[in-house]
Structure 1
Amino acid sequence: MTLDEIKARLQNVHGGSARCPAHEDKSNSLSVTEGKNGRVLLKCHAGCTTEKICGALGITVADLFSESLKKEEKPRQEKREFVAKYDYTDENGAFLYRKTRYRTESGGKTFVWSHKDGKEMKIGRGGAEPVLYNLWEAADKPELYMVEGEKDVETLRRMGLTAVSVPDGAASKWHGNFTAALESKRVTIIEDNDEPGKAFAERAAQALFGHAAEVKILDLTREWTDLKPHGDISDVVDMEGSKKDVLRRLEALQITTPVYTPHNAEAAQEAAQSPEDAAEEDAAEDAFFECFRPLSDFDEREAAWLIPGWVPKGQITLLAADGGTGKTTLWCNIVAALSSGRKSLLDTADTDRKPLSVAFLTTEDSVRQKLKRKLREAGADQTKVLTPDFLADKEGLLRDFKFGTHKMASFIRRFRPALCVFDPVQGFIPPEINMGSRNAMRDCMAPLISLGEEYGTTFLIICHTNKRKGASGRDRIADTADLWDIARSVLMMGYTEEAGVRYLSNEKNNYASLQETVLFTIDEAGQPHRSGTSMKRDREYMLAAAAEIKNPTLCNDCKEALLQVLDENECSMAVKDMEAKLKEYGYTFRTIRRAKEDLCASSAIRVKPGGKGAPWVVEKTEFSEPDTYTPPSDT
């Protein structure tokens, strides 16, 4: 079918854009253009597949090809001769895939990609994302060269210089991980002596501007005026014969070349574009402009809540705490309540809800060995709780299931859970993203916001806190404070000075006033129970804990008292009874816990299970049986 015939089946056609027939489209999400050989190109910017779009139009994917293309005979494959192989690795030198270069019988060149599957090499990149060639060597270098191809990288390496190249030459798309890999480095781009080479250099410099410490573009013809068309640095070395002379003149050219600033970028890009590419870009631009509307077109909505006052619907909520505080217990309580239609620890007495579909994604705890039982005991409706089965993933399909990826967006569109829990956040940050980089984290997390508002999914992100002394609030968020900024509600957990009592503090709330801090305990069955509220915040609890830590005399006195209490009780007693006795002597739970940790670390005492249904026991080690189990300090 022709482009006009396809457009005749679409609605609201404007230039190269139209409404997508595969979903309820109100903003011309579909780009429709003609590509090479007369093929009609359909691209839905909301994520609909070409197959789904064709099905909605009543045609097949084959109908998008022109008759001449369908009948075109496959050309005879030329004989080829091996030239070189280039292994692509990650920044640590681990093998990803290989690019093999061949020379054809007509004098041209061709490339074949391959990857390891077990012990075999198979065609293709194996689903791995594109990376820079020679990335591992450039990872710790403050300055380097960028060229178009692997051959030029090896030429510069033989001259003692560090260089990287993109995987597909001047036609390469620029990926965000390229920028991340060259962040804060001084990058000198050597352009090939042709228009595509100049356009690529400009495109790369634009992408690096503001991220790299410095960017320069070298025009080799300023130093080597007789460089042939399409010539590159390898051709320069062949011309000169002396690598020493090339190196001297190259360094001189680098010094005299001014630092790059964006200029005439559109002209360079247009010069390298084919008419088909230009048409595709125009269509994409039309769709981009359709995203902008006057304020009068927006409807006005009140903030909606998944858990009133605590967890806003369709937004990001952050839950942060030290390890062992009970983060998993809390989010399991929330998941169980939402899936079964019951009240959670954070709900008020008049809360009434219907059972909802929820999902949790975790890279820490085993679903089969821990979380299934924990959620069952919390009362979850297991038919409404969705989670990935990592054991069933034999092909590594879940390996790149990360924030900002197409797979993550497709997962939310397909299942549309009311709540999606990520525990911990580090398990879902793409490996190339530096969590300390605010721009990178913003780009990585931003798609969750649009997905939440479009599909009504609320995101609960679990993260650890750091051990920085005197820190509280956003300063306690581990790895990056940007999580605090992007979240609409932030909850922080910790221990109070009372034995077994934890606090949950609402530290940030964009849509309501901060909620009162909830105090709660966790029973022997692992279920949380409210024990009251407090006006204290995370900062006050952290300052109180820091004050006690700064008083070693108090802790030493408590350790002596603990050992004395054990002596008075035949060197063994229930942990709860011991804590109650020390509390009578005026010690806080926090001091008691620290004294217990110190004595366990020095092997003066040991804590062990008291038997089925019986409380935990603390005893002096010289009276304990060998090989007893020492539980976590918060048991």
Structure 2
Amino acid sequence: DLSAGRALPGVEPVEPGNVIYQTAEDGLADTIKPRLVAANADCKRIFVIDESEKGLSLLDSRIEEAMAKIRPRLFIIDPLQAYLGGDVDMHRANEVRPVLKKIGFLAEKYECSVIMIMHLSKASQSRSLYRGLGSVDIPAAARSVLLVGKNPNNPNERAIAHIKSSLAQNGKSLGFTITDFGIQWLGESPLTADDMLGAHRFEKSEDKNKVDEAVELVEIILNENNEATASDIFKAGKEMGISRRTIERARERMRDEGRLTFDKTSKPGKCFWRLRKMPDFLE
């Protein structure tokens, strides 16, 4: 729609813009282009960075070179995990963070929006925001997170649900179906992220209180990093919509249960939180 200047549902039309669409999963000639043609995209405005001789990572200088030349309004990375780089463990926050910072810098410099497509994990965390593969730093760094899924009672019906928005209130879910002619929008949808994730099989996030969610966040961060400072955890909580006081209550609960330890000796002025390693017979 951006390449042709068309409007998405509920949005005013925009001037046509260039798009860089980098994909590692589908063939450009046999899959991507036919889909773009079916969607009436302006293919003259869709660009791809050539990977025929050398694979691309998000730290590759070719990305900035392409942005400077093409001046895209949108950069699509599909999927994110394919472009983090072979030396980056997507589950380690300290390795993912510099990559995201670099892309954020380029997005601001060239006034370009970035869409990072992620696959879902098979984990059963209560919050849909934690279900993406990789470090919790990825959704924490994003200004907006959308979930695309199917209606479990009608697989032909799909929806886009807004599960995080740092700059405004979450938007309402939008329903759509896929036809031979591309996407057909169905208007506002009652489907939620939990509906599409089949969250009825687990505890619904609304049935869990905020402290439970904060405990889950602390566990994810410490499992990723082995340790983290209080300020880092409070910052991650803020990005996820969890208050400092709620994280403090989670800390008190985990400490009382013997699941959390604290180290103030590693670096002066810093307190590191760590998960206590339980004896094998208790794990």
Q: Same-fold call, TM > 0.5?
A: yes
Which residue identity lines up with residue 96 of structure 2 in the other structure? M
Contact 1:472 1:538 in 2 (8 A): no
Q: Does 1:440 align with 2:101?
A: no
2:165 to 496, 503, 509: 509
Q: 2 CA distance for matches of 1:352 and 1:479?
A: 35
Note the C-alpha offset of 1:352.
Answer: 1.9
Note the C-alpha offset of 1:480.
Answer: 2.1
Equivalent residue, structure 2, for 1:364: 25
2:49 to 388, 394, 401: 388
Equivalent residue, structure 2, for 1:408: 63
Q: 1 CA distance for matches of 2:131 and 2:29?
A: 32
Equivalent residue, structure 2, for 1:341: 5
**Structure-to-structure mapping, 1:215-226, within 5 angstroms:** none
Q: How big is each residue's C-alpha offset from its partner over 1:286-316, in whole Å with a ceiling of 9 and x where there is no partner?
A: xxxxxxxxxxxxxxxxxxxxxxxxxxxxxxx
Equivalent residue, structure 2, for 1:480: 135
Q: 1 CA distance for matches of 2:198 and 2:178?
A: 24
Equivalent residue, structure 1, for 2:176: 520
Contact 1:422 1:428 in 2 (8 A): yes
**Structure-to-structure mapping, 1:460-499, within 5 angstroms:** 460-469=115-124, 471-499=126-154
2:38 to 377, 380, 388: 377
Q: 2 CA distance for matches of 1:544 and 1:440?
A: 30
Contact 1:423 1:463 in 2 (8 A): yes
**1:340 match: secondary structure:** coil
**2:22 match: secondary structure:** strand
Change (3 A) 1:545 1:355: same
Q: 2 CA distance for matches of 1:489 and 1:479?
A: 17
Note the C-alpha offset of 1:411.
Answer: 2.3
Moved more, 472-481 or 370-379: 472-481
Q: How big is each residue's C-alpha offset from its partner over 1:319-355, in whole Å with a ceiling of 9 and x where there is no partner?
A: xxxxxxxxxxxxxxxxxx11111123xx32x612111
Q: Unmatched 5+ residue regions in structure 2?
A: 203-283
**2:86 match: secondary structure:** coil
Equivalent residue, structure 2, for 1:183: none
Q: How big is each residue's C-alpha offset from its partner over 1:430-449, in whole Å with a ceiling of 9 and x where there is no partner?
A: 11111111111011110111
Q: How many pairs were matched up?
A: 201
Contact 2:152 2:198 in 1 (8 A): no
Q: 2 CA distance for matches of 1:421 and 1:358?
A: 8
**1:451 match: secondary structure:** helix
Note the C-alpha offset of 1:535.
Answer: 4.9
Equivalent residue, structure 2, for 1:431: 86
**2:117 match: secondary structure:** strand
Note the C-alpha offset of 1:509.
Answer: 0.7
Which residue identity lines up with residue 528 of structure 1 in the other structure? I
Q: 2 CA distance for matches of 1:364 and 1:520?
A: 23
**2:97 match: secondary structure:** helix
**1:514 match: secondary structure:** coil
2:186 to 521, 528, 531: 531
Which residue identity lines up with residue 462 of structure 1 in the other structure? I
Q: How big is each residue's C-alpha offset from its partner over 1:541-566, in whole Å with a ceiling of 9 and x where there is no partner?
A: 4345527xxxxxxxxxxxxxxxxxxx
Larger RCO (alpha carbons 8 Å, 6+ apart): 2
Note the C-alpha offset of 1:506.
Answer: 0.5
Percent same amino acid among aligned pairs?
A: 23
Note the C-alpha offset of 1:375.
Answer: 0.3
What TM-score, normalized by structure 2, do the two folds share?
0.66
Note the C-alpha offset of 1:388.
Answer: 2.9
Q: Does 1:354 align with 2:15?
A: yes
Contact 1:404 1:445 in 2 (8 A): no
**2:129 match: secondary structure:** helix
Which residue identity lines up with residue 175 of structure 2 in the other structure? L
Q: 2 CA distance for matches of 1:374 and 1:534?
A: 24
**Structure-to-structure mapping, 1:90-129, within 5 angstroms:** none
Equivalent residue, structure 2, for 1:459: 114
Equivalent residue, structure 2, for 1:145: none
Which residue identity lines up with residue 410 of structure 1 in the other structure? E
Q: 1 CA distance for matches of 2:173 and 2:115?
A: 18
Which residue identity lines up with residue 458 of structure 1 in the other structure? S
Q: 2 CA distance for matches of 1:338 and 1:440?
A: 32
**2:44 match: secondary structure:** helix
Equivalent residue, structure 2, for 1:91: none
Q: 1 CA distance for matches of 2:115 and 2:150?
A: 21
Q: 2 CA distance for matches of 1:435 and 1:387?
A: 24
RMSD between superposed Cα atoms in Å: 1.9
Q: 1 CA distance for matches of 2:34 and 2:70?
A: 23
Q: 2 CA distance for matches of 1:373 and 1:385?
A: 13
**2:194 match: secondary structure:** helix
Q: 2 CA distance for matches of 1:389 and 1:343?
A: 29
Q: 2 CA distance for matches of 1:403 and 1:544?
A: 33
Q: 2 CA distance for matches of 1:504 and 1:437?
A: 28
Q: 1 CA distance for matches of 2:139 and 2:34?
A: 31
Contact 1:470 1:543 in 2 (8 A): no
Q: 2 CA distance for matches of 1:545 and 1:518?
A: 21
Q: 2 CA distance for matches of 1:454 and 1:470?
A: 36
Greater Rg, structure 1 or structure 2? 1
Q: 2 CA distance for matches of 1:377 and 1:483?
A: 32
Q: 2 CA distance for matches of 1:424 and 1:542?
A: 19
Q: 2 CA distance for matches of 1:372 and 1:423?
A: 15
Q: 2 CA distance for matches of 1:544 and 1:455?
A: 39
